[in-house]
Amino acid sequence: MAADTAPALAEPHARFAAASRWGAVEVVFWLATLLPFFVAQDYLVLASQIAITALFAVSLDLILGYAGVVSLGHAAFFGLGAYAAGIVSKAGWGEPLLGLLLGGAVAGIVGYGASFIIARFRHLALIMITLGMGELLAQAANSASWLTGGNDGLQGVKTMPLFGVLDFDLYGYTAYGYALAVLFLGFLVARRITNAPFGLALRGIRENFVRMAAIGAPTLPHIRKAYTIAAIIAGVAGAVLTETTETVSLETLGFQRSADVLVMLILGGVGRLYGGIVGAIIYMIARDQFSDVNPQYWYFWIGLLLIAVVMFLPNGILGGLERILPSRRSGG
Partner 1 sequence: MWPVIGVLFDGFAYGMLLFLLSVGLTVTLGMMNFVNLAHCSFAMLGGYVTVTLMNRFGWPFFATLPASFLAAAAASVLFERVLYRHLYQRSDLDQCLLTIGIVFVSVAAAAYLFGTVQQPVHLPDYLHGALAVGGQSFAVYRMVLIGIALLLTGALVAGLELTRFGAMVRAAVDNQRVARGLGINVGRVFALTFALGSGLAGLGGSLAIDIVGLDHAFAFNYLIYVLIVVSVGGLGSIGGSFAAATLLGISDMAGKYYFPQFGAFLIYLVMIVLLMWRPAGIFGKR
- Which residues of the chain form contacts with partner 1 (CB under 8 A)? 64, 70, 117, 120-121, 123-125, 127-129, 131-133, 135-136, 139-140, 142-143, 255, 259, 262-263, 266, 270, 296-300, 302-307, 309-311, 314
Closest separation between CB of residue 46 and partner 1, Å? 22
Q: Measured from the CB of residue 308, what is the shortest distance to partner 1 in angstroms? A: 8
Cβ–Cβ < 8 Å for 76, 108: no
Query: Cβ of residue 134: shortest distance to partner 1, in angstroms?
Result: 9
CB of 70 to partner 1, least distance (A): 6
Task: Please list the alpha-helical segments (H only) found in the chain.
Answer: 6-10, 12-20, 24-32, 36-39, 44-61, 75-90, 96-118, 123-143, 145-148, 173-195, 197-207, 209-214, 219-245, 255-268, 274-293, 298-312, 316-324, 328-331
For partner 1, the closer CB: 241 or 278: 278
Give residues with Cβ within 8 angstroms of 252, minimum separation 6: 75, 78, 79, 82, 83, 238, 241
Q: How far is CA 285 from CA 71, 108, 265, in A?
A: 24, 30, 15
Would you say 139 or 155 has its CB closer to partner 1?
139
CB of 19 to partner 1, least distance (A): 24
Residue closer to partner 1 by CB (options 52, 76) is: 76
For partner 1, the closer of residues 85 and 223 by Cβ is: 223
Nearer to partner 1, 166 or 259 (CB): 259
DSSP state letter for 196: S
Closer by beta carbon to partner 1, 285 or else 306: 306
Question: What does each C-alpha distance from 122 to 117, 199, 315 come to in angstroms?
Answer: 11, 19, 21
For 24, 164, 213, 263, 275, the CA distances from 280, given in Å and listed in that order, are: 22, 31, 34, 9, 8
Min. distance of Cβ 296 from partner 1 in angstroms? 6
